[in-house]
Chains A and B, each alone.
Chain A
Amino acid sequence: MQAIVIHRILQIIPVLIGISIITFLLVSLAPGDPAEISLRAILDTDSPSPESISLMRAEMGLDQPLHIRYFIWLSRVVQGDLGYSYLTHKSTVYEILYALPTTFILAVSAMAISIIIGIPLGIAAAIKQNGILDHFCRFFSIIGNSTPEFFMAIVLLLIFSIELKILPVAGSGGFQYFILPSVVLAIGLIAITSRIMRTSMLDVLEENYILTARSKGLDRKTIISKHAIKNAMLPVLTYMGTQFGWLFGGAVIVESIFALPGLGRLTVDAVNTRDIMILQGCMITFAIIFVVINLLVDLSYIYLNPAIKYEEV
């Protein structure tokens, strides 16, 4: 058990090294002199003197060959130094830490809504296969899945903010600012979560051990709650794990529409203003979040699926 956890954690190290190499190359290959860009940020001037630039180059190790520069850069990143935004003159780490909570709240609440609604909906649709609820779910998931987020966001804004005036239009502040964005994100997730849960439930209900459970004299409710649901949860969990990672980076459109100062918006702004240090920081953050979430999903498998627990490592 312990060995497998350590094994899984060690497995992410090569992934992180790969990510760091790609991110490093992105910055090295980007046009412009990083030393000059950094100096502009630190000194708050458009044209730093050539002497200071060459000093900065030496300090940043830019006069070294590429592989040496990578290790210098990596040691700085590991110490939490990701450079400065040349636009705001603030450190990249500060900008990211400022944006992270907003994205985190948005992702968690969208995920929570989709779990609370999507999973019971999928279970109910499977239990009454081809019933009214099943047809409704199919209809809902096609609508939910094929409506673009920006359209859904605008429709909900028109209804709840403009007409009914019960929710704020955009911006950040309290919890009410997160309701509409997380609902918009959740609708697409519910559409797929409920379908996967339904299919997975139907598969499990066909299994022999469900037949055995019936022949033992269990009632349908107990069979579903004790034998079926946990076994049917695995594929849904995999899907939700990858989607959770996606929510951190993919909420770009929703964050922009609702003017939420999250990671997605930070990334888009960085791309627009060519703020390469911020972009680099965002990339590393997304990658780490994605890897960590996948690790957590893997570890939760060990709890959910006894078949993994005793596998040879």
Chain B
Amino acid sequence: MIEGVGLSKNYVSEYNRKMLTHAVKDVDIRIDNGETLALIGESGCGKSTLGRMLLNLIPPSQGEVLFEGNCLTKMRGAELRAIRWKFQIVSQHPDSALNPRWTVADSILEPFRIHGKITGGRDQKQELERLIDLVGLEPGQAARYPHQLSGGELQRAVIARAIALDPAFIVCDEPTSMLDVSIQASIIRLLQARQKEIGCGCLFITHDIQLAKIMGDRIAVMLGGQIIEEGKRILDHPVHPFTQKIVSPGLNETAPDLIPACECSNHACSFLTSCPSRIPRCNIYPEMQVCGDRRIRCHLVS
């Protein structure tokens, strides 16, 4: 189980130290072993930043990440590196996720070389054959360089590398968004099958609502750096106005005139500017509250 508590990430402008960008604001997130949480949201809402903070690839500004009872954010150097193999990333751009100067086999096998203590005397050649077979690549393709494989084949190689050491948690950051539609389905099936086998937790980041419904045991919707609604099957019965909007985009046309972003206070609801059902209280930042089968950040539900 991996858990993020009160995670925030602020970026400071290089030229004006007072200009802060809040990429992620006060997010609580939990993913159990074997469970998939589909994280959905618009571009730039902080999905990828949140995913990378959970993997401790970006240090959070506030909050901490707990993994199997250890606080990852307090770990340093060698201690952290020794445990890194347990959480892996499959990124959006398969073509830059592998070192272009290395063969695919070299990249897939690197985790075995790094974590020799855990893998013990496992035969690298056998492991490579096993992984290549698991992700559905041809044996000959392992000896090639990344530029010689297609996007779909590369993503398979990236997945092979990610699952090489049977991790406990994987972040899939829009793993199919750069691939042809015809290949997307097979990659999704591959991810589902391998996840079931390993029994690992998965944070599946996407902006595709159908994909989120297929992949997610639970679904979380993100807006402006915050999770605004989270629970099982929330996309079938959306409650938050933003979730309602993304589920049926047609509704958007009846939305009232927008409030210019500059007139909102910093503590207002993230969706204030274009929310069709806003009330005066929306100028105050809504707290996360439990409402039936879901958690939601909206004044309308209370």
A→B interface (CB under 8 Å): 207-209, 211-219, 227, 230-231, 304-307, 309-310
For residue A214, which residue of chain B has the nearest CB?
B57
Q: Mark B76-97, 1 if CB is under 8 A from A, else 0.
A: 0110011111011101010011
Q: Which residue of A has the minimal Cβ distance to B111?
A: A216
The CA-CA distance from A295 to B81 in the complex, in Å, is 43
Q: With A215-B55, A306-B147, A307-B145 in contact, is A231–B99 under 8 Å at CB?
A: yes
Chain B residues within 8 Å of chain A by Cβ, number: 31
B145:A209 contact, CB within 8 angstroms: no
Are A212 and B97 in contact (CB-based, < 8 A)?
yes
B110 interface contact, C-beta 8 A: yes
The listed residue (B89, B107, B145, B148) touching A215 by CB distance below 8 A is: B89
Within 8 A of A (CB), among B89-125: 89, 91, 93, 96-101, 107, 110-111, 114-115
Determine chain B's interface SS by DSSP, over half rule. Answer: helix
CB distance A211 to B85 under 8 Å? Answer: no
Please name the residue on chain B nearest to A211 by beta carbon.
B57
Q: Are A211 and B145 in contact, with the CB atoms below 8 A?
A: no
Residue of B with least CB distance to A228: B99
Of listed B85, B99, B158, residue having the most chain A CB within 10 A: B99
Cβ contacts under 8 Å, A304 to chain B? 101
Beyond the given pairs A211-B91, A212-B98, A218-B81, 4 more chain A to chain B contacts, judged by CB atoms under 8 angstroms and listed by A's residue number, are A231-B99, A306-B147, A307-B100, A309-B145
Task: Verify A216–B114 contact, CB threshold 8 A.
Answer: yes
Residue of B nearest to A207 (CB): B96
Write the chain B residue with the least CB distance to A216. B111
Q: B110's closest neighbor in chain A, by CB? A: A216
Complex interface: chain A residues within 8 A of B145 (CB): 306-307, 309-310
Chain B residues with Cβ under 8 A from A227's Cβ?
99
Instruction: Please give, as numbers and ranges, the residues of chain A lying within 8 Å of B101 by CB-CB distance.
Output: 230-231, 304-306
Report chain B residues within 8 Å CB of A305. Answer: 100-101
Q: Closest approach, in angstroms, between the C-beta of A304 and any C-beta of chain B? A: 8
Q: A217-B81, A217-B82 are in contact. Are A209 and B57 (CB under 8 A)?
A: no
CB within 8 Å for A307 and B147 given contacts A216-B111, A231-B99: yes
Complex contacts, A231 vs chain B, CB 8 Å = 99-101
* Cβ contact within 8 Å between B57 and A208: no
Task: Give chain B interface residues in 142-192, CB to chain A under 8 Å.
Answer: 145, 147-148, 158, 161
What's the nearest-Cβ distance from chain B to residue A227, in Å? 5
Chain B residues 229 to 247 lying within 8 A of chain A, measured CB to CB, are: none
Q: Determine the chain B residues whose CB is within 8 A of the CB of A213 once the complex forms.
A: 99, 110
Can you give 25 contacting A-B residue pairs, CB < 8 Å?
A207-B96, A208-B97, A209-B96, A209-B97, A209-B98, A209-B100, A211-B52, A211-B57, A212-B89, A212-B91, A212-B158, A213-B110, A214-B84, A217-B83, A217-B84, A217-B114, A219-B78, A230-B101, A231-B99, A231-B100, A305-B101, A306-B100, A306-B147, A307-B100, A310-B148
Which residues of chain A come closer than 8 Å to B148, judged between CB atoms? 310
Q: Which residues from A are CB-within-8-Å of B83?
A: 217
In the complex, the chain B residue whose C-beta lies closest to that of A215 is B89
CA–CA, A207 to B146, complex, Å? 14
A212–B81 touching, CB < 8 Å: no
- Bound complex: CA A213 to CA B114 (Å): 10
Those of B24-60 within 8 Å (CB) of chain A: 52, 55, 57
Cα distance, A39 to B55, chains bound together (Å): 82
